[in-house]
Structure 1
C-alpha cells in the first residue's frame, strides 16, 4: 500500500467535522487505497477524546489541512468584531503551518468568514505558496447545481459548470451563463433548459445566496452534512483533478490578472484542477449583469481584507 498521508482537521469536535471525519476515514476523499494518519485539533476541554490540542503536534508534516474551526458570529457582534477574533485564530494557524507543515501542504479553510480567514492564514505562512490555500465555496456551487436540477427535473449530477463568484457570503454571485444541463444525453444551456430568465436572474440567485441562513432559521443549526459533503468534493478534486470538460468553484488567491478581480484577495473563481494544482478558467465572456454582481462581492472582500489586515500587526 502507499505510504500514509497526514491530514489535519481543526474544529474536530464540531458539527461539520462530525460528518466529515467519517467520509475522510473511509476513503471518500483521498482514495480507497490511501492510508491516512488523521490529526484532530480542537479546544483542550476535549483532550480525553481528541488526539491533540497542541499545534506543534497537529500541524507537523501535513499533506492536507481542513481548517473548520473558527469564531462564530454571536448575537450583537459586529462584523469587525468577528474579523478581529478570527484574525488571531488564523494568524496562529498560518504560523503553525509555516513552522511545522510540509511546504506542499494543501490547506482548505472552511471556518467563516472563509475567504478572509484563508487570506490571513496564507499571509501568516509566507514560505508556503499561496496557491496551496483555498476556501470552501463548493457548498454554494452544489446548492446552485441542485436548484437548477430541481427546476429542470434532472439529477444534480446532470448539471455542470455553474460558477460561484466572490465571497462565501450573501454577496456571492451564482452564475449559470456558462452552465450546461444533460437532458436525455444532450447538453443544453441552462437558460434554454430552464426557460425562465426572470427566475434565473432573481429568485435562483437569492435562494443560493441565502440558503445557509434559511437552513439555520429552519433547524437552528447549520447544514453540517451538506458542508461536510462539499468539503469532501473540494478536497477530492484537489487530489484527483476535475473531470474533463468540467470546472468547479473554489476560493483561490487572486493575482489581479483574471476577470478584473483585485489582487491579494481569496475570491471564488471557476477552476480546473490537474496534478493537485488549480488553474482559473480564463476567457469566459462576462455579461454586464454578471460584471456588476462580481464587482459587488469583490468590493466586500476588499473591505474585509483591509479590516482584517489592520488587526494583523505586520
Structure 2
C-alpha cells in the first residue's frame, strides 16, 4: 500500500510520499487522522514515534499523521517525515506535513496541540499568555471549521490550561469537555518522586492527584494515593509516615521540576512531556480502569474550584468520556493550595480574555 500526500506548501518528493511498511494482509481498522502541532519541535520528535508505533491508540489502530508547523520550519519537518518513513512502522498509514491549519485539522479524531510560544528560563507566564492567545485562537477556529465534532483535544503548549480555554472559546461547535490540558507530566513526576521515597516500582504507586494549573501553583496531592507493598495496598501517607515531607519537599519538588529541567538542560522538558502526552491521550481513548489520572478539564465548580477555567482534577475515563472523581475529603492544607491555584487560573483567564478583545 502506498500513500501520497500533498499540501499547500512547496514540498519535496520525499515529503510528499510515505511508504507504509506493513505487508500484513490481515484486515485492520480504518486509520484515524491525528494532528500534532509544533511537529518540527523537540516534544513532537519523541511524541510522533509513540503515536505511530501504537503506544497511544493501541496495537491494531492505524494512524494517518497530520503535522502542522509554521512555514519557516517546513525544511526541518521534511527531515522528520523522512525519519518516520525510515522507521518502517506498520501502523503508519500516511503523513501530511503542512503549514496550513485547515489542512492540518481536517477530519482529525485526536489533536495534540504542542506548538506554542516556548517557555524560556526566567520568562513570566503572563508573557506567554499574550503570545499564545493568537496561536490558539487560530487553531480553535480551524478545529471548529474542519475537525470531527468528537475530536479529542490535548493542549500541551504552555500555559496549557489557559491555552485550552482560549482554544475552546473559538471552537463553539465542539463540546467543551473535548478540550483538555496536560497535567499528566506533573502526575508522572509526583508518582516517580513517591516511588523513589518509598523504594518501590513506579507502577506500584497510584491515584496521585494534581490539582489546578500546570504551573508552580499546582497542588500535587498524595493524601489519597495508595502503594502496593509485598502484594498489599497501603495508603501512601501511612506508608511514608512523614506528613512534613508530603506538605513541603514533595510539593515544591514537583511544582518546580519544570524549572529545574530548564536550568539543567537550558531547554524545557521534551522526552517526559511527550511520554505524558501519550499517557493522557491513551487513557482518554482506551480508559483508565480503576486508576485515577489527572487531566485539565473545564471546571464545573467541583471541590469549590472556580467555574469555567481549565482546572486539573482527578478523573476516571470510560468509553472515551472522563468523569471527575467525587467525594474526596479536602483538608485545610489542601483547601489553601487548591484556592491558590484556582485564583491564578482565574487571573490568567481574565488576562487572556483581555488580549482576545
TM-score (structure 2 length as normaliser): 0.85
Match of 2:251 in 1: 205
**How far apart are 1:311 and its partner, in Å?**
1.3
Match of 1:290 in 2: 334
Question: In 1, Cα distance between the equivalents of 2:352 and 2:184?
Answer: 24
Match of 1:22 in 2: 49
Relative to 1, partners in 2 of residues 1:75 and 1:157: Cα closer, same or farther, differing over 3 Å? closer
**How far apart are 1:128 and its partner, in Å?**
0.3
Match of 1:156 in 2: 202
Match of 2:184 in 1: 138
The partner residue of 2:317 within 252, 273, 280 is 273
Q: Tell me which structure has the larger Cα radius of gyration.
A: 2
Question: In 2, Cα distance between the equivalents of 1:79 and 1:239?
Answer: 31
Match of 1:167 in 2: 213
Q: Considering only aligned residues, what root-mean-square deviation do their CA atoms show, in Å? A: 1.2
Match of 2:136 in 1: 90
Match of 1:116 in 2: 162
Match of 1:255 in 2: 300
The partner residue of 1:3 within 21, 30, 47 is 30
Question: In 1, Cα distance between the equivalents of 2:122 and 2:243?
Answer: 38
Question: In 1, Cα distance between the equivalents of 2:126 and 2:191?
Answer: 32
Q: Report SS of the residue matched to 1:121.
A: helix
Runs of 4+ in 1 over 6 A off after TM superposition: none
With 214-223 and 35-44 compared, the bigger mean Cα shift is at: 214-223
Equivalent pair of 2:120/2:267 in contact (CA under 8 Å): no
Relative to 1, partners in 2 of residues 1:76 and 1:240: Cα closer, same or farther, differing over 3 Å? closer
Q: Deviations over 1:268-295 (max 9, x none)?
A: 0000000111000011011011000000
Q: Deviations over 1:208-255 (max 9, x none)?
A: 0000111111121222111111011000000100022x1110100112
The partner residue of 1:31 within 58, 68, 72 is 58
Match of 2:25 in 1: none
Question: In 2, Cα distance between the equivalents of 1:76 and 1:285?
Answer: 36
Match of 2:261 in 1: 215
Provide structure 1 residue ranges, at least 5 long, that are not aligned to the other structure.
Answer: none
Equivalent pair of 2:121/2:266 in contact (CA under 8 Å): no
Question: In 1, Cα distance between the equivalents of 2:124 and 2:158?
Answer: 14
TM-score (structure 1 length as normaliser): 0.97
**How far apart are 1:28 and its partner, in Å?**
0.2
Question: In 1, Cα distance between the equivalents of 2:121 and 2:247?
Answer: 32
Match of 1:129 in 2: 175
Provide structure 2 residue ranges, at least 5 long, that are not aligned to the other structure.
Answer: 1-27, 82-96
